[in-house]
Amino acid sequence: MDDWFTLERIDEDTDILSEYRHWEETHCYLLRGRERSLLIDTGLGICDIRQAVDRLTDRPVAAVATHIHWDHIGGHRYFPEFYAHEAELNWLSGGFPLSVEAVRAMVADRCCLPEDFDVSRYTLFQGHPARVLRDGDRIELGGRTLEVLHTPGHSPGHMCFWEAERGYLFSGDLVYRGTLFACYPSTDPEEYLSSLERTACLPMERLLPAHHALDIGFGTRFDDSSFEFCPVVPEELVAVVPAGHPLAQQEQVTLEQLSRERLGIYNQASPTRNLVLSMFRQQDLQPDVAFEVATDHMLASFVSQGLGVGIMPRMFGLRLYSVRPLYIADTETHRMLYMFRPKDRRVLPAVQRFWDFVLEVCAQYQSDE
């Protein structure tokens, strides 16, 4: 477990503890003041983040989550002193809007878990905060002050933390690279946009999000010569239909059958969109496109609600939804997943180690086949 967290230093008093071996790619931020330290978000809870924190500070440590989602409070059990926003206190006492089974599936999805980690024993953190936070509150560390900004939308009690003296905005899930994963029933798009407008005017020097690397991406290849691409692994594309759909009784389906159904498809930003449409064109078929989505999880969610059918990568997370994946019988149904990074950007040592690690794992995977 010692290699679970990747450590990077922002400045002499601020460190990032990242979990790059999980698809969430969470970032937790350790801020050291003269009198005390603060850990913003405690990550997934797969490994003991307290051990890593104790190697970085000898001052008392309090934890605060940008919001009470499982991937931000997983390590809270190691910190008796923690803070939370008043709007999400019920989530810390049994009111979290997802079941523990759904969370366990997301914990295990697309992750290189430690051998001694048993996902069936994963539980949602429950507890009583030492301090209840509200908009405008200040957290004093001794020589460092953070202002609490209530930024609802992604969740009712979502908070950003603004350190005006250094120009740091710890943005949680309000802003990060890529499509924001917001399928919780508590997500409010209008409040989310209002929160974006509120933070956009801040004189930021650094935007510090809770997820995803800014240097390495994964996806299908796109046309941009400023990026370096490396093939990682082929992904199978499958048809997904609602669990109660007549086609769900079959083991496989044809494109001709799918062309008679309302089809959900990826939006213009996704290269997979063109791949799916070309599959139909090759058979002189015209799909009935009913709706467009930005992410795999959004497509699976819409299909599970009966809005149509879809074609998407087979992924572990499909078990979260009431859908039936079907083999597509009459066409090539694979896409290549690539790892990519900007060619001309300085590469941090931790990023290079991650790049090399992925290449090593892929080489081993190919040699074992």
Q: Which of 149, 177, 209 is the last residue of a domain?
A: 209
d(CA 102, CA 171): 25
pLDDT confidence band for 347 (50 / 70 / 90): low
Domain end, chosen from 177, 209, 241, is at 209
Same domain, 294 and 184: no
Asked if the structure places residue 364 within a domain, the reply is no
pLDDT at 177 over 80: no
CA dihedral 239, 245, 248, 254 (to 10 degrees): -50
Contact indicator for 223, 251 with CB cutoff of 8 Å: no
pLDDT digits (tens, 9 = 90+) for 316-342: 667 778 999 999 998 877 878 888 887
Contact 94, 127 (CB under 8 A): no
- Least confident residue range of 38-42, 184-188, 307-311: 184-188
Please compute the mean of the pLDDT values over residues 39-53 and round it to a whole number.
96
Encoded amino acid at 317, one letter: G
Any domain includes 367? no
Please check the confidence at residue 1 and state whether its pLDDT lies above 60: no
Above 70 in pLDDT, residue 257? yes
305 and 172 in a single domain? The answer is no
Both 297 and 200 in one domain: the answer is no
Reported as a single tens digit per residue, the pLDDT across 104-154 is 988 887 778 888 899 999 999 999 999 999 999 999 999 999 999 999 999
pLDDT over 80 (residue 182)? no
Do residues 190 and 275 share a domain? no
Q: Minimum mean pLDDT among 37-46, 114-123, 253-262, 326-335: which range?
A: 326-335
Tokens of 6: 């990747």
Asked if residue 61 lies in contact with residue 17, where contact means CB atoms within 8 angstroms, the answer is no
For residue 320, give the CATH number of its domain.
Answer: 3.40.190.10
Six-digit token pair at 161? 């933390």
- Provide the pLDDT for residue 157: 96
87 and 189 share a domain?
yes
Claim to verify: residue 194 and residue 241 sit in the same structural domain: no
253: amino acid identity, one letter: V
Residue 227: predicted pLDDT: 82
Tokens representing residue 336 in the block: 């290549």
Residues 136 and 265 in one domain: no
Q: Is residue 45 pLDDT above 90, yes or no?
A: yes
Per-residue pLDDT, 350 = 60
Is 349's pLDDT higher than 90? no
Secondary structure string (H, E, C) spanning 229-268:
EEEEEEEEEEEEEECCCHHHHCCEECHHHHCCCEEEEECC
Question: Using alpha carbons only, how large is the chain's radius of gyration in Å?
Answer: 22
Contacts of 300 (CB under 8 A, 6+ apart): 240, 310, 312, 317, 318, 320, 321, 323
Name the residue with higher pLDDT: 158 or 205.
158
Q: Is residue 41 part of a domain?
A: yes
Answer whether residue 237 shows pLDDT above 70: yes
Residue 245, pLDDT above cutoff 90: yes
Q: Is the pLDDT of residue 180 over 60?
A: no
pLDDT of residue 122: 95
**Model confidence at 46, in pLDDT bands (50, 70, 90)?**
very high
Is residue 345's pLDDT more than 90? Answer: no
pLDDT value of position 181: 55
Global confidence as pTM: 0.62
Note whether 97 and 180 are same-domain residues.
Answer: yes
Q: Which residue has the higher pLDDT, 270 or 236?
A: 236
Evaluate if residue 165 carries a pLDDT over 70: yes
Say yes or no to pLDDT of 246 above 60: yes
Token match 């104790």: residue?
54
Residue 136 located in a structural domain: yes
Q: How many domains does the structure of the chain reveal?
A: 2
**Per-residue pLDDT averaged across 234-259, rounded?**
94
Residue 197: per-residue pLDDT: 84
Q: What is the pLDDT of residue 234?
A: 81
Q: Are residues 145 and 279 in the same domain?
A: no
Cβ–Cβ under 8 Å, residues 148 and 159:
yes
Banded model confidence at residue 366, pLDDT cuts 50, 70, 90: low
Are 191 and 248 in a shared domain?
Answer: no
In angstroms, what CA-CA distances link 364 with 98, 130, 359, 360? 36, 48, 9, 6
- For residue 284, pLDDT over 70 is answered with yes
Question: Can you tell me the distance from the alpha carbon of 314 to that of 240, in angstroms, rounded to the nearest whole number?
Answer: 9
Q: Are residues 38 and 175 in the same domain?
A: yes
Strands (E), 115-249: 131-133, 138-140, 145-150, 159-163, 168-172, 206-209, 217-219, 227-242
Q: Has residue 344 been placed in a domain? A: no
Q: What one-character-per-residue DSSP string does 274-307 give? A: HHHHHHHHTTT---EEEEEESSHHHHHHHHHTTS
Q: Nearest CA to 332 among 255, 260, 266?
A: 255
Contacts of 105 (CB under 8 A, 6+ apart): 316, 317, 319, 320
Higher pLDDT, 50 or 359: 50
- Asked if residue 284 belongs to a domain, the reply is yes
Residue 307 corresponds to which tokens in the numbers above?
A: 């809005």
Establish if 196 belongs to a structural domain. Answer: yes
The arithmetic mean of pLDDT across residues 65-85, rounded, is 97
Specify the DSSP class assigned to residue 346.
P
> Mean pLDDT over all residues of the chain?
88
Domain of 119 in residue numbering reads as: 6-209
172 plus 26 within the same structural domain: yes
The pLDDT of residue 224 is above 70: yes
Q: What is the mean pLDDT of residues 354-365?
A: 77
Over 90: is that where the pLDDT of 225 sits?
no
